[in-house]
Amino acid sequence: MTDHMPSELAPLVSSVSRRNFIFGLGAAGVAVALAGCGSGGASVDGATADGPPQPGGTFIVGTTQVVAHANPAIGGGSGPMIVGAQIFAGLVLTGDDFSPQPYLAESWEFSPDYRSLTFKIRSGATFHDGKPVTSEDVAFSILASKKYNSYKSMFETVTDVEAPDATTVIIRLSVPNAALLACLTPATAPILPKHIYGDGQDLRNHPRNTQDVIGSGPFRLTTFEPRTEIRMARYDNFFLPDRPFVDEVVYRPDPSGTTILLQLQQGEIHSLRTADSVSLQQLRAQPTIEVADKGMQAISGVGVVAVNMENQYLKNPQVRQAIAHAMDRRYILEQVLGGEAANADSVLAPIDQFHSDNVTKYPYDVAKAKELLAAAGYPNGFSIRIDYLPSVREFCGSMAEYMKEALKDVGITATVIASPDLAAVAPRVVSGDFDMYLLLNLGYGDPVVGVHSLYESAGIGESYPGNVSRYRSPEVDELLVQASQEMDLAQRKEIYAKFQKIVSDDLPVIPYAQYRPRNAYIPAVVRNPNLGVWEGLAPYKDVWVTAP
C-alpha cells in the first residue's frame, strides 16, 4: 500500500488480488480514481522526519549518461528517460508495489474484455508554453511512442487512440495488453505537445528533441549541453499544486564516473546513481553520504553478453555454449564486480517477479569450452571484437576486459573496442556491425517493456537497444505475444518460465550478473529523495533540498 492511497480505498484494494488491482481494481468496469499522486516512496505532502519541505534551491545530480536527446518517445535507453521524466508528464506513475498511480490521468477504467482502456485526464494542465494539455495530445503521444519507440512490444496491440472530448482518452487494443498501465509512465510514454511535434517532421530527427523542448512535467528545459550540463527550471504552472519544491534540477554528465564521485564526496553535487563496486565502497565509508539499498527495481536488470547471431563463428550454438563455459562466475562476482552484484543465469533478474531458476546453466569449465569449440570446427579458435556500453564502466567495461582474458584461455582472441559514449556505439550495434556487445538489460517495470525487445524478431535493426543479437525464434516470438496478452499473473509466470528456458538453451545473450544500482546522496542536503521503483527515471517533483 503506498502512502498516496486515500483511506477510503484501502478496504477495496485489500479485498482484491494484486493482479486485479493492477488491471483496474477488480472488475474491468470499476474505475480507478485515486486522489493522491504516487511518487515512488514520497510522502503525500513531501514532508520528512525533519519537517515540512523548504521550497527553492537547486538539486544537482551526477550521471554517467551522455544524453543524446530529451524525448523518451523515440527510445534511446535510460539517458533520454532520465531527462524526459522531468520535462514530460505521463498518464501514470508507479507505486512501490508496482501498482499504477494517477499523474496526468485522474482515473481509468478497463472494458470487460480488456480491449479498451478509458482515461480521464486532469483539466487545467498546461504545457510549458502555456497551451492546454488535451486528450488530442495524449492520443498523438501514445501513437507516436507506438511508432517510434524501440520497445515495440509496449504498444504493439494498440490499434487506435480516441479523444472524444478534451479530457477523455480511449486506448483501443486488438487483444488484451497485460503491461499497458506499466508502459504509460513519463519515461516510456511521455505526453508530447501535438502542436509542436505534429508538424509532419520525422519525430526521430525533430529539432525540438534537443532544443526548446516543451512538455508538461514539473521542470522545463533551459540548457541542453549533453557532455557538460543539462539544466531544468521549475515550471510554476505545473498541474500538481505546490510542486515541484526545488527551483532547478541540474545534471552533470561524466561517462567515467570519476569526477562525479569526487564531486559528491565534496558536496558539489547532491546525488548520483551507481553500481560500481569501488565507488559504492568509497561512498559507504563517507559519514556524510547515504547509500540507499531500497527501490530502483524498474531500473535494475541483468548484465548480458549479446552475441551477433549472424557472425560466422557465433551463429554456431556450440561456440556460444563454449563462451558461456569460459566465464568464471565466482571470479566475475567477487573480483570484476567487487562483491556488489549477484549471479544471474536468466535474463530476468532474481528480484524480478517473473524470474525462473529452471534454466540451462553453464558452470565454469575451460576443458568443456575447448571441447565445444573443437566440435564446432574451431580447435584453434578465432578472432572477435568486444564492444560494451560505455556509460557503465565496471559492469560492462571491466567485464569486457575480463572477457578478453577469459576467452584467451580457450583459444579465442578478442579485441576490446572502447567507445566514448552510447552515440558512438549504438549505430554499429543496431546495424549488426559488431561481434559481441556487453550491455545492461533493464526491466523498466515489466518484461514487455525491457525484455521483449531483446528477443523479438521484430526488434532486429530497430532503434537502440532492440534485438541487438539479431536472434530469430518463432517459438519465442509466440511466447512473448502470449505473455503480453495474459492478464492472469500466475499464467504469465508460467509463460515466462518457458521463455527463459528456451533462451538459456539458445544463448543469443549470455547473462552474467544481476545489475542493482544504488542511489547515493547527501542526506543533510537532499530530503525525500526518489527511492521508488523508477528512482531518477521518475519526476523529482517531491524532492527538496536544504542548501541553496
pLDDT tens across 158-215, in order? Answer: 999 999 999 999 999 999 999 999 999 999 899 999 999 999 999 999 999 999 999 9
Average pLDDT, the chain: 88
> Which phi and psi angles does 171 have, rounded to 5°?
-95, 120
The answer to whether 24 and 108 have CB atoms below 8 angstroms apart is yes
Cβ–Cβ under 8 Å, residues 94 and 101: yes
Within 326-413, where are the H helices? Answer: 329-331, 366-375, 399-408
Q: Tell me how long the chain is.
A: 548
4 has a pLDDT exceeding 70: no
In 3D, which of 326, 336, 306 has the Cα closest to residue 434? 306
Stretch 281-288: mean pLDDT: 93
Could you write out the three-class secondary structure of 430-470? HHCCCCEEEEEEECCCCHHHHCHHHHCHHHCCCCCCCCCCC
The confidence band for 2, taking pLDDT boundaries of 50, 70 and 90, is very low
Q: Assign residue 76 a region: left if phi > 0, alpha if psi is -120 to 50, beta otherwise?
A: left
Q: Indicate if the pLDDT at residue 34 is higher than 80.
A: no
Report the alpha-carbon distance of residue 6 to residue 17 in Å, rounded.
18
- How far apart CA 149 and CA 466 sit, in angstroms, is 10
- Give the pLDDT band (50/70/90) at residue 39: very low
Pairing of the two strands 383-388 and 436-442:
parallel
**Cα separation of 214 and 85, whole Å?**
12
154 band by pLDDT with thresholds 50, 70 and 90: confident
The helix-helix angle for 258-265 and 277-284 (nearest 10°) equals: 10
Which of 94, 91, 100 lies closest to 19, judged by CA?
Answer: 100
- Candidates 458, 454, 503; CA nearest to 476 is 503
Residue 67, amino acid? V
Beta-ladder partners of 271:
61, 521
Alpha-carbon Rg for the chain, nearest whole angstrom, is 23
DSSP H helical segments within 326-398, as ranges? 329-331, 366-375
The amino acid at 375: A
Distance of alpha carbon 283 from alpha carbon 261, whole angstroms? 8
Give residue-wise pLDDT tens across range 106-145: 999 999 999 999 999 999 999 999 999 999 999 999 999 9
Residue 70 pLDDT > 90, yes or no? Answer: yes
Residue 441 CB partners (closer than 8 Å, separation 6+): 301, 302, 303, 304, 347, 450, 451, 454, 465, 509
pLDDT score of 33 more than 60: no
Residue 548: band (very low, low, confident or very high) from pLDDT cuts 50, 70, 90: low
The three-class DSSP label of residue 488 is: coil
Stretch 277-292: mean pLDDT, rounded?
92
> Which run of H or of E encompasses 120?
strand 116-121
Residue 431: in which H helix or E strand, if any?
A: helix 422-431
pLDDT value for 423: 85
The rounded distance, in Å, linking the Cα atoms of 323 and 334 is: 20
Enumerate residues 6+ apart whose C-beta is below 8 A from 343: 329, 333, 512, 513, 514
Nearest one of 129, 126, 158 to 145, comparing CA atoms: 158
Per-residue pLDDT tens for 413-459? 999 999 988 889 999 999 999 999 999 888 777 898 889 989 999 88
State the cell numbers at 274: 551507481
Rounded Cα distance, 455 and 477, in Å: 8
pLDDT score of 48: 66
If pLDDT is split at 50, 70 and 90, which confidence band does 543 have? very high
Is the model's pLDDT at 44 over the cut of 70? no
